[in-house]
Amino acid sequence: MRVWVSGGSGFVGSNVVKVFSEQHGAEMVAPAHGDVDLTESEAVRASVAEHRPDAIVHTAILNDLPTMLADRRAAWVAYVGATRHLVDAANDVGAKLVLVSTDWVFDGSQGGADETAPPNPINLYGVLKLASELVVTERARQRGERPGRAHRSPHGQVRVTGRPSRTDCHAARPMASGARPSAPVIGDGPPART
């Protein structure tokens, strides 16, 4: 199996690369930001087409809260636009896509929210992650299927639970696929609360 990982040099992505390669024997492709700008559709599609992965794991984030707040358009492009480009590239090559999201799509008042709880983000990070989840749900498709059939899609989102430290590993909740991951997904360490 070949897996293409966005954000492969970050905390979450580097752990995904390590687990998939060392524990599951997957061939990993983790291009650096300088090699593939996720905000550029053609660059993403070209890299994915070149490597023809079986799966794409989208872990990349804009980990710069001041920039996110100062330039919300850039933040939208970095999260939602990048997700759109990766979903489209996955569709092009028939790869499955997993978006690593966050429990920050909830406001904390639901306590133990599950996949059926309505999201209610209270900060920009949560809004951007929720919008990215919607992109996956609406655009992901199997060959020959129309978008918007998330329950039948090979794509899914993973919401990371808890606030992990560098030594914590939290099990994640898959969203659209209905299947539990065979390996834990490492928490995404969101930016500071605003």
Is residue 153 within a helix (H) or strand (E), and if so which, with residue range? none
How far is Cα 161 from Cα 189, in angstroms, rounded to an integer?
10
Q: Is 184 within the bounds of a domain? A: no
Residues of the domain holding 106? 2-174
pLDDT attached to residue 169: 26
Report whether 15 contacts 24 (CB < 8 A).
Answer: no
pLDDT tier at 173, thresholds 50, 70, 90? very low
Instruction: Output the CA torsion 29→155→188→28 (10° steps).
Output: -10
Report whether 28 contacts 17 (CB < 8 A).
Answer: yes
Q: Is 126 within the bounds of a domain? A: yes
Active site annotation includes 79? no
Number of H helices, E strands in the chain: 7, 6
Q: What are 42-54's pLDDT values in tens digits?
A: 999 999 999 999 9
Q: Which residues pair with 27 in a beta bridge?
A: 2
Q: Is 174 helix (H, G, I), strand (E, B) or coil?
A: strand
Bigger pLDDT: 45 vs 106: 45
Q: Is 96 within the bounds of a domain? A: yes
Q: Is 105 within the bounds of a domain? A: yes
pLDDT attached to residue 157: 52
CATH code at 23? 3.40.50.720
Per annotation, catalytic residue among 76, 79, 106, 125? 125
pLDDT tier at 107, thresholds 50, 70, 90? confident
Q: How many domains does the chain have?
A: 1
Q: What are 80-94's pLDDT values in tens digits?
A: 999 999 999 999 999
Q: Is 179 within the bounds of a domain? A: no
pLDDT tier at 149, thresholds 50, 70, 90? very low
Q: Is 122 within the bounds of a domain? A: yes
Write down the residue that tokens 């804009």 correspond to. 62
Q: Is 152 within the bounds of a domain? A: yes
Q: Is 57 within the bounds of a domain? A: yes
